[in-house]
Structure 1
Amino acid sequence: MKRLLISMLVLGLVVACKKEPGKPVPNEIDTIARINPDSAKVVKNDTLKFAGLKKTNDEVLQTLKAKDYKTFATFIHPQKGISFSMYAFVDPKGDKHFSKEDFEKYLPTKTLFTWGAKDGSGDPYKATINNYLDKWVFSKDFTISQYSLNKFIGGGNSLNNLKEIYPKADFTENYSKGTEKNSEMDWKTVRFVFEEFQGKYYLIAVVNDQWTI
């Protein structure tokens, strides 16, 4: 008798937990909304934000892959412009910076700019905007790389101070794993730093990273 009562109780609990016909299962945001409406707004806003940043990140990568630098320029922050760091260490005074207007002005020209110094030799790296984007920024096909938001994947012995320089900005990382032939030390990554302006995310920095000596 005792076992029969326990079995009936368990069966009742199982039936009670099943979804009632015609009533949809609430999603995470709906559940949170019943508990705390303000928290639900945060969750929804964050979800939209993360999706927006991923979409923008992928669009930027596609412009680089296609060498469509005119379209790339449309992602540059209208007021703050864009900075380029050759390696993980961001140097606001030494890194190459362009306003959106100057970037578009010099893009079609063969003007050489010094973007930084090469690791190891210390020789200045000089290139046109087109060549720098093609040979350095997009030195691997990052459209098939590992993606992350506000988290670092790649890391070597170069000081990474991105979060200190851009504490309030969001950044994406596109990481290309190294090869077994080179003990995976030939990994590369490109990070895009974004800030929101008038409801849209714009680039304020492009930071490359790789193994350094």
Structure 2
Amino acid sequence: MKNLIIPIFALTLLTACKKNPEKPVPNVIDSMAQAKEKNLENTKQQKKTDEAAVKKANDEILQALKGKDYKTFASLIHPEKGISFSMYGFVDPKEDRHFSKEDFEKFQPTKTLFTWGAQDGSGDPYKATINDYFTKWVFSKDFTASQYSLNKFQGGGNSLNNLKEIYPGKDFTENYIKGTEKNSEMDWKTIRFVFEEFQGKQYLIAVVNDQWTI
């Protein structure tokens, strides 16, 4: 009896298939291609938006530094990762000065001295308050009148520039002031800002100064 049930079931299934032919199946390959193309368009659009956001943050930082508006500057520091400062193009996470956002806000108004790194040539430690470091080193020239670039280096000397290795995949800006003919263009200076997005906003995670070194 069991052997008879199986052929009858198979015959019934075959008849049902003939009466209800399969509906056309959508072209899966075309659908995947369309989805990929849409994702690429969205990515391009997102990149444009990111570039605009980074440029806006870059300009806000420069204006804050020029006006010594360190409250605004502090508001752009990454809330979780804080901020690091490099005196030259070579970034050394072990030696460079780092602050959490809270510590920066705490010590900025004070006369507390910090060691920011070693001066090129002499090797002497560079000690200064946050305010003095900003005015005498970070913003030693008016970088609001500099040449801007995104994820591209303009200034370069004889020191190692390892920013991309230390901050892989991060967006960075460069604000470059060309050297003078009088000094064979060796007196160029630049300031780089490294950004990371957090909760839909661009925040600063590093400030890297660079110039010709001995």
Deviations 1:78-100 (A, max 9, x none): 10000000000000000000000
Can you give the 5+ residue segments of structure 1 that lack an aligned partner in the other structure? 1-32
**Mapped partners of 1:167, 1:98: distance in 2:** 20
Listed as ranges, the matches of 1:101-180 within 5 Å are 101-180=102-181
Give SS of 1:136's match.
helix
Listed as ranges, the matches of 1:13-24 within 5 Å are none
**Mapped partners of 1:176, 1:93: distance in 2:** 28
**Mapped partners of 2:179, 2:90: distance in 1:** 20
CA shift for structure 1 position 38: 2.2
Partner residue, 2:24? none
Structure 2: which amino acid aligns with 1:83? Answer: S
Partner residue, 1:206? 207
Structure 2: which amino acid aligns with 1:60? Answer: I
**Mapped partners of 1:118, 1:70: distance in 2:** 28
Partner residue, 1:37? 38
Deviations 1:84-127 (A, max 9, x none): 00000000000000000000000110001000011001111110
Deviations 1:124-159 (A, max 9, x none): 111000010111000111111011111111000110
TM-score normalised over the length of structure 1? 0.83
Can you give the 5+ residue segments of structure 2 that lack an aligned partner in the other structure? 1-33
CA shift for structure 1 position 41: 1.1
Give SS of 1:132's match.
helix
CA shift for structure 1 position 71: 1.0
**Mapped partners of 1:138, 1:75: distance in 2:** 17
**Mapped partners of 1:125, 1:183: distance in 2:** 27
**Mapped partners of 2:103, 2:136: distance in 1:** 21
CA shift for structure 1 position 182: 0.5
Partner residue, 2:82? 81
Deviations 1:44-69 (A, max 9, x none): 11111111100110000000000111
Following TM superposition, where does structure 1 have runs of at least 4 consecutive aligned residues deviating by more than 3 angstroms?
none
Partner residue, 2:67? 66
**Mapped partners of 1:45, 1:109: distance in 2:** 41
Structure 2: which amino acid aligns with 1:181? Answer: K
**Mapped partners of 1:92, 1:36: distance in 2:** 40
CA shift for structure 1 position 36: 2.9
Structure 1: which amino acid aligns with 2:37? Answer: N
CA shift for structure 1 position 43: 1.6
**Mapped partners of 1:206, 1:96: distance in 2:** 10
**Mapped partners of 1:79, 1:46: distance in 2:** 24
Number of positions where the alignment pairs a residue of Structure 1 with one of Structure 2: 180
Task: Give me the identity figure in percent.
Answer: 77
RMSD between superposed Cα atoms in Å = 1.2
Larger radius of gyration: 2
